[in-house]
Structure 1
């Protein structure tokens, strides 16, 4: 088990102290993080475990001595937890955040006599100095590239199937961000179970990022879906737009946020994916992105593969020119 040095991220409610973890040994059935801040005046407002693209709020509590405990999984369970994730603690913005943390994991070992499971436990304690936080940084309005992705026909899944689909979905989008070279610490991620809204860092090179996202989705979905049956196959609707956005108390705001979600929900995009069963995803981009970036023909993104369409959501009185792309089957 490896836990990175904590990062302090701005948040509308103060600051988030984030501890990313990665499993390096056997699968764990439970993982807990016990955090003690040196300053007793530090006000903890919320805590959560983010793993496999979802946020788990259960298993978070404060002990009598003021330590904060975050738990994911079941110590005596049989199901492994995601091999990577993060503990996130929302605090009021003090000058500095220092303290210690103890990581404790529980792993299922081969059964003993009679087939009963046994658990091996281990822990590790480190001290941290998370440094100062600027509660305003990262929340300033800016023009940013927005990406919205949604899973087709997600409601068909049973609970275990949905868990597997979410894990595949989250791993895919994580890989795509890594391939295009964006920094997650500067990226806004707003998960919704079957989807993810992403606000890319300010100033990214769109001529690199947009083709990289398309190529990453194409190759990643081929890899994920290889060997899966039709029911388990992951198929996505994808929309991209650029505009002026800001982070508010409960998520991202701005007309660009509304537009990219209208594009994602448009009937022309839904119909394109529905009527092209060989495609793993369908993409729609706004007219401004097509004319500013895609039309110039950057590598791996042929502008002739895009078709001009009218993206409409009548119930929202939305209708705009957009450009539709389907990968070659």
Structure 2
């Protein structure tokens, strides 16, 4: 007989994002970085027809883990949204010095999870955060000063979504990575090519990105290191 846990599994798309060098900022700089990150995510969602108010979010001072609604098409998120997010960050960073620029790591995965009292439980949240914290992704952002977003997808999402041709980012622009953490191996693909749409076009233009948001979301338990 199947055990009745009261917590059914669901298959969802997860997005994790983390601000580079957050702890080295002053308190006022951290607050500005949080507002800018929220504004950039909101702008990217608006430009690609996504409703962030429907995302289940676990937020920490330097980023968030978001579970997107059931039935979300992963192809636009893996391509158009990420391109729009990079464009929003570029707009925010224009004219800023290196210290004030907002640069982030971003990872995507789709897999099984279940709701828990401290956030989603299951393999999917673990996979996306291992990719987010991986050395190859950190190295890419550190070594490429012109890049505002270092982006990785899980191996399964790459095979199921990026390779289909429905994603705005071409598979040839990704390089495979293998990450060992906590005694387990996680495989993914890091975008080493440019964050531009087909034909080299930038993300669709949209309303200007504010440098801060008028009200901040109430923080939950921090889950991103």
TM bucket (normalised to shorter chain) is 0.7 to 0.9
Distance 2:53 2:113 in 1: 17
Contact 1:182-1:201 at 8 Å conserved across structures: no
Residue in 1 aligned with 2:171? Answer: 303
Q: Is the 8 A contact 2:130 2:186 kept in 1?
A: no
- Segments of structure 1 that go 5 or more residues without pairing to the other structure are 1-135
Q: Deviation at 1:300? A: 2.8
In the alignment, which residue of structure 2 is the partner of 1:319?
185
2:34 maps to which residue? 166
Supply the distance in 1 between the matched residues of 2:93 and 2:150 (Cα, whole angstroms): 15
SS at match of 1:155: helix
1:228 aligned partner = 96
1:248 has 2:116 as partner: yes
Aligned to 2:131: 263
Counterpart among 283, 293, 297 of residue 151 in structure 2 = 283
- Going from structure 1 to structure 2, the CA distance change for 1:185 and 1:160 (only over 3 Å counts) comes to closer
TM-score, normalised to structure 2, is 0.79
Contact 1:262–1:318, Cα closer than 8 Å, also in 2: no
TM-score by length of 1: 0.55
Paired position in structure 1 for 2:25:
157
- Please report how far the alpha carbon of residue 227 of structure 1 lies from its aligned counterpart in structure 2 after TM superposition: 0.8
How much is the aligned-residue C-alpha RMSD, in angstroms? 1.8
What is the aligned partner in structure 2 of residue 26 from structure 1? none
Matched position secondary structure for 1:248 = coil
- Native 8 Å contact 2:175 2:192 kept in 1: no
Give me the whole-angstrom Cα distance separating, in 1, the residues matched to 2:118 and 2:47.
29
Contact 2:11 2:113 in 1 (8 A): yes
Residue in structure 1 matched with residue 160 of structure 2 by the alignment: 292
- Structure having the higher helix fraction is 2
Check if 1:328 corresponds to 2:194: yes
Normalized per residue, which structure has more strand? 1
Q: Residue 295 and residue 196 in structure 1: after superposition, are their counterparts in 2 closer, same or farther (change >3 A)?
A: same
Counting matched residue pairs gives 190
- In the TM superposition, 1:85-100 aligns within 5 A as none
CA separation of 1:318 and 1:228: change in aligned 2, threshold 3 A: farther
How is 1:115-264 mapped onto 2 (pairs within 5 angstroms)? 141-264=9-132
1:210 deviates by 1.5
Contact kept? 1:282, 1:327, Cα under 8 Å: no
Distance in 2 (CA, whole Å) between partners of 1:185 and 1:167 is 16
